[in-house]
């Protein structure tokens, strides 16, 4: 305690004494102190400086735009940039028209920090008024900041792993809706009609510029929730007003500035974390040198304390149109569901006598579910189907004739992403292979989920893997069993049986795999399947696919195969799930016989980050085993 | 900057939905931001709006939109802000209105600065007016922009008939 007080006193004494001597009576700034300041963490963060390994360049800013720097070599010299910033901030008022171009208006966060550490060096011309910044920041009225997490979206590879953005909350102070709060987003700048291969390659290896943009929050709320059908979780942070305003000011400095985009690491989550970390003692970037998954950021955010409090003070769920529809549908009684089906089947003309006899609250439930259904179908199928639109409008008109008010719905069963497991999996298995004997299998999947362990923030019954592999160490031989470069299994598991509530399922994969469980040489191939899913009840989902693959012919199985797949997903809650699969393959350009592959895999969740699995596979060679997995 | 952004966004949206013709105003509806502020007029040849998808988004702020016909009353910040909001969120907004409550319909009245005490009654009035528009046979044939404009006119009427001080932005 005594030492702590002494340390604080010394620090304050140091800052005050230094700032006094920093700006000498001759008007020049103490060079030594300036050098010290230019090496301080906050200044390096304000300039987005990163350490470089070369002798000639020690620092390099992540920002590529020249107008982010006030010194000619500011991108590489924190010292010169600091000196130039102080000089420019002290430069006099020119004209009202040019006010917004002044350093004070362009770099409010730098000014905020300089006022704190070296106030005596500043000589601000009071005539300078920053109207644009005042308007944008609603006159510094941000009372808190939220980080918003949008769940993964399989319609865009860059969004497979979810997305994060910031919301500057000022609605209470302004007496406005939170939909009009300012939101700040980070993303890559992609040319129109970019082909998928270029898109992935450039996204991985820094081929795109990126940057921060801003827009009213309702734009994102509507776009993610209504158009892309993505659930959102909002995490409101516990920051002081000064800390919030510092972040807002720094965001202003970064708007429109160009960065280089890296999908794996320096992505939206990284830049959002970086922006929040401008505040002292906030350290929320997950420690992973290769990749950063938005969900990991959310998990670290919730686990972080700041100023003696939890950094996250409130979590709010914003369900998508899809989630709202399925929830409303689930809440209907069987009689109400029949009425809903009748309305949909008769193109929105279902207001039968029996419907009119239902109590008003029941009619409202049904009609509200029908409205959600039509919008869900239109958006899901990316359709402008005139018939559906017409049906929707009939029901909308009907809704106006019913009493006002809506049903309160509880979404507590939706698992928030911070409550889910960690994204990366290491799995150790002991197995017996009929011909190759006992084996130890080591499976590593850096990200993200499969049909058995999908949870909070994931798409149920689906899977998403990027660079996952399994090594087999056996009595007879050791080998790479498979290497998934990229694997997506998408299955719509919540189908209601209503028309156009498409139960589409598809798979796509690229990577190395065994052509047979006795062959240790994994060959490269790509596979794809398309099919339909059928939900029999809450615990059982079936899917059937047709597809095929192209592969290397090293093992004599030809270059082309066709296949049919049947799968059954058994769900006994989050803790116990099974998946059974039957695959029939025909080798088109090989004399190998057709092949049937039967498999069964079960998962039991031990803790949030631990699991046990059992598995069985028969491709005319049996193997079965037991595995223990942990997530990190 | 923020205002220009908003106009550009709205305009880009209007352009993207194919509304290349200026929307015809309803007789007697007065000046409309949908017509007089260039909204729906496809005046925006070179925006930096890359895509409206999650991870692919860029600032639209570098594109300026001007309209020689714009009057200060029609194209003031609130008019354009409300018009843009309505067009962007039309489905959610009209559903909220049908249900007589919801964050989108509240948001519109918030933008007009209407006090929360009066909003319930105002939503009731708006509900009655929009119900008439939606049940008209011609409603189905209207474009999204035309529907938005109808809604905009209805909201304006509801706001304008309030006592002084109820809505600060009128």
3-class state of residue A183 by DSSP: strand
Q: B134 with A400: CB under 8 angstroms?
A: yes
Q: How far is B114 from chain A (nearest CA, A)?
A: 9
pLDDT band of residue B36 (cuts 50, 70, 90) is low
Q: How far is B70 from chain A (nearest CA, A)?
A: 22
Q: How far is B165 from chain A (nearest CA, A)?
A: 14
Most A CBs within 10 Å: which of B3, B6, B13, B55, as the mutation test of the A interface?
B55
Q: Is the pLDDT of residue B19 over 70?
A: no
Half-sphere exposure of B154 (CA within 13 A, CB side): 25
Return the ∠ at Cα B12 (arms to B7 and B14), rounded to 5°.
95
- B43 at interface of A, judged by CB pairs closer than 8 A: no
- Confidence at residue A454, expressed as pLDDT on a 0 to 100 scale: 82
Question: Strands A463-474 and A448-449, how do they pair?
Answer: antiparallel
Which of B76 and A294 is assigned the larger pLDDT? A294
Half-sphere exposure of A390 (CA within 13 A, CB side): 9
- Confidence at residue B75, expressed as pLDDT on a 0 to 100 scale: 57
Q: Which of left, alpha, beta for A279 (phi over 0: left; psi -120 to 50: alpha)?
A: beta
- B2 at interface of A, judged by CB pairs closer than 8 A: yes
Q: What single-letter DSSP state applies at residue A403? A: P
Residues of B in contact with A268 (CB under 8 A): 55
Tell me which residues of chain B, numbers 64 to 83, contact chain A at a CB-CB cutoff of 8 Å. none
- Confidence at residue A415, expressed as pLDDT on a 0 to 100 scale: 85
Tell me which residues of chain B, numbers 95 to 124, contact chain A at a CB-CB cutoff of 8 Å. 95, 98-104, 106-107, 110-111, 113, 124
- The H-or-E segment that residue A512 falls in is strand A504-513
- A300 at interface of B, judged by CB pairs closer than 8 A: no
- Residue with the two structure tokens 């000498």: A24
- Confidence at residue A198, expressed as pLDDT on a 0 to 100 scale: 87
Note the helical H segments in B23-102.
33-36, 77-88, 90-99
Residues of B77-116 as b/e, b for ≥16 C-beta within 10 angstroms?
ebbbbbbbbbbbbbbbbbbbbbbbebbbbbbbbbbbbbee
pLDDT band of residue B81 (cuts 50, 70, 90) is confident
Residues of B in contact with A158 (CB under 8 A): 54-56
Closest chain B residue to A389 measured between Cα atoms?
Answer: B140
Give the Cα separation of A332 and A339 in Å (integer).
10
Cβ contact (<8 Å) for A213 and B59?
yes
- Confidence at residue A291, expressed as pLDDT on a 0 to 100 scale: 87
On average, the pLDDT of chain B sits at 67
3-class state of residue A29 by DSSP: strand
Q: How far is B25 from chain A (nearest CA, A)?
A: 22
Mean pLDDT of B59-74: 34
Q: Is the pLDDT of residue B63 over 70?
A: no
Mean pLDDT of B64-93: 66
pLDDT band of residue B58 (cuts 50, 70, 90) is very low
Helices (runs of H) and strands (runs of E) counted in chain A: 18, 24
- The secondary structure of chain B in percent helix, strand, coil, rounded to multiples of 5, reads 55, 0, 45
Q: A162 with A295: CB under 8 angstroms?
A: yes
Cis peptide before A58 (omega within 30 of 0): no
Query: Lowest-confidence range among A37-46, A134-143, B66-75, B114-123?
Result: B66-75
Q: How far is CA A346 from CA A329, A338, A370, A426, A550, in A?
A: 18, 12, 12, 52, 45
Q: Is the pLDDT of residue B1 over 70?
A: no
Give the Cα separation of A346 and A363 in Å (integer).
17
Cβ contact (<8 Å) for A375 and B91?
yes
pLDDT band of residue B38 (cuts 50, 70, 90) is very low
Listed residue (A502, A424, A503, A427) closest to A465, CA to CA:
A424
- Residue with the two structure tokens 């880009």: B12
pLDDT < 70 regions, chain A: 1-28, 53, 155-159, 173-175, 348-351, 494, 502
- Confidence at residue B9, expressed as pLDDT on a 0 to 100 scale: 38
Give the Cα separation of A321 and A302 in Å (integer).
26
- A365 at interface of B, judged by CB pairs closer than 8 A: no
Closest chain B residue to A227 measured between Cα atoms?
Answer: B53
- The H-or-E segment that residue A572 falls in is none
Domain limits, chain B: 3-71, 78-160
Residues of B in contact with A228 (CB under 8 A): 53-54
Cβ contact (<8 Å) for B98 and A405?
no
Residue B110 has its nearest CB partner, among A177, A188, A215, at A177
- A159 at interface of B, judged by CB pairs closer than 8 A: yes
Here the ipTM equals 0.81
Q: How far is B73 from chain A (nearest CA, A)?
A: 20
Q: How far is A487 from chain B (nearest CA, A)?
A: 20
- Confidence at residue A3, expressed as pLDDT on a 0 to 100 scale: 45
Chains A, B: CB contacts within 8 A come to 133
Helices (runs of H) and strands (runs of E) counted in chain B: 7, 0
């Amino acid at each position: 305690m005594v030492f702590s007080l002494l340390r604080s006193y010394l620090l304050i004494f140091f800052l005050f004494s230094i700032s006094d001597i920093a700006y000498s009576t001759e008007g020049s700034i103490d060079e030594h102190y300036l050098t010290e300041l230019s090496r301080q963490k906050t200044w390096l963060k304000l300039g987005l400086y990163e350490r470089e390994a070369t002798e000639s360049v020690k620092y390099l800013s992540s920002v590529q735009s020249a107008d982010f720097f006030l010194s000619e070599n500011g991108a590489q010299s924190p010292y010169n940039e600091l000196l130039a910033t102080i000089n420019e901030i002290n430069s006099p008022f020119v004209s009202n028209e040019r006010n917004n171009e002044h350093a004070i208006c362009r770099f409010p966060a730098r000014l905020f920090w300089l006022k704190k550490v070296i106030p005596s060096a500043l000589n601000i011309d009071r005539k300078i008024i920053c109207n644009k910044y005042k308007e944008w920041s609603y006159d510094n009225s941000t009372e808190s900041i939220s980080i918003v997490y949008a769940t993964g979206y399989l319609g865009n590879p860059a969004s497979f792993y979810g997305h994060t953005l910031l919301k500057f909350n000022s609605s209470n102070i302004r007496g406005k809706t939170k939909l009009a709060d300012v939101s700040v987003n980070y993303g890559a700048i992609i040319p129109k009609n970019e082909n998928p291969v270029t898109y992935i390659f450039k996204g991985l290896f820094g081929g795109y510029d990126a940057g921060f943009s801003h827009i009213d929050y309702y734009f994102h709320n509507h776009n993610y929730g209504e158009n892309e059908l993505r659930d959102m979780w909002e995490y409101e942070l516990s920051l002081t007003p000064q800390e919030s305003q510092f972040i807002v000011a720094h965001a202003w400095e970064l708007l429109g500035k160009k960065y280089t985009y890296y999908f794996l690491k320096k992505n939206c989550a990284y830049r959002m974390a970086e922006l929040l970390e401008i505040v002292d003692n906030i350290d929320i970037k997950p420690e992973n040198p290769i990749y950063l998954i938005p969900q990991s950021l959310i998990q670290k955010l919730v686990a972080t304390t700041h100023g003696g409090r939890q950094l996250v003070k409130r979590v709010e769920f914003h369900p998508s149109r899809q989630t709202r529809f399925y929830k409303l549908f689930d809440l209907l009684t069987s009689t109400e569901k029949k009425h809903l089906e009748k309305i949909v089947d008769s193109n929105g003309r279902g207001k039968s006598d029996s419907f009119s006899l239902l109590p008003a609250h029941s009619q409202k439930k049904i009609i509200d579910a029908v409205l959600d259904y039509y919008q869900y179908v239109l958006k899901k199928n990316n359709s402008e189907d005139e018939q559906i639109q017409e049906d929707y409008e009939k029901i909308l008109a009907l809704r106006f004739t019913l009493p006002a008010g809506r049903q309160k719905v509880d979404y507590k069963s939706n698992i928030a992403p911070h409550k889910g497991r960690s994204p990366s999996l290491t799995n150790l298995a002991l197995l017996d292979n009929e011909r190759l004997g006992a084996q130890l299998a080591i499976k590593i999947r850096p990200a993200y989920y499969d049909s058995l362990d999908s949870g909070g923030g994931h798409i149920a019954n689906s899977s998403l893997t990027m660079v996952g592999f399994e090594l087999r160490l056996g009595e007879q031989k050791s080998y790479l069993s498979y290497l998934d470069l990229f694997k997506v299994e998408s299955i719509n598991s919540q189908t209601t049986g209503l028309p156009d509530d498409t139960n589409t399922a598809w798979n796509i994969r690229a990577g190395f795999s065994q052509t047979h469980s006795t062959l240790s040489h994994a060959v490269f191939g790509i596979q794809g399947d398309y099919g339909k899913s059928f939900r029999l009840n809450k615990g059982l989902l079936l899917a059937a696919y047709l597809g095929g693959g192209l592969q290397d012919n090293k093992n004599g199985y030809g270059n082309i195969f066709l296949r049919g797949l049947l799968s059954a997903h058994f769900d006994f809650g989050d803790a116990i799930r099974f998946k059974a699969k039957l695959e029939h393959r025909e080798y088109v350009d090989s004399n190998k016989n057709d092949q049937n592959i039967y498999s069964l895999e079960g998962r039991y969740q031990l803790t949030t980050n631990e699991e046990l699995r059992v598995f069985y596979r028969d491709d005319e060679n049996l193997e079965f085993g037991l595995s223990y997995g942990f997530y990190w | 900057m923020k205002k220009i952004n908003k106009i550009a966004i709205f305009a880009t949206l209007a352009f993207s939905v194919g509304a290349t013709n200026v929307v015809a105003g309803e007789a007697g509806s007065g000046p409309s931001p949908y017509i007089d502020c260039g909204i729906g007029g496809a005046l925006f040849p070179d925006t930096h709006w890359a895509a409206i998808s999650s991870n692919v988004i860029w600032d639209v702020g570098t594109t300026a939109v001007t309209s020689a016909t714009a009057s200060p009353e029609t194209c003031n910040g609130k008019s354009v802000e409300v018009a843009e909001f309505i067009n962007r969120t039309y489905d959610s907004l009209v559903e909220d209105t049908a249900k007589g409550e919801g964050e989108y319909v509240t948001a519109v009245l918030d933008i007009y600065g209407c006090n929360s005490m009066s909003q319930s009654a105002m939503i009731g009035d708006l509900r009655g007016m929009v119900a008439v528009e939606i049940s008209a046979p011609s409603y189905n044939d209207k474009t999204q922009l035309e529907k938005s404009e109808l809604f905009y006119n209805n909201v304006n009427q509801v706001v304008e008939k309030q006592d002084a001080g109820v809505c600060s932005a009128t």
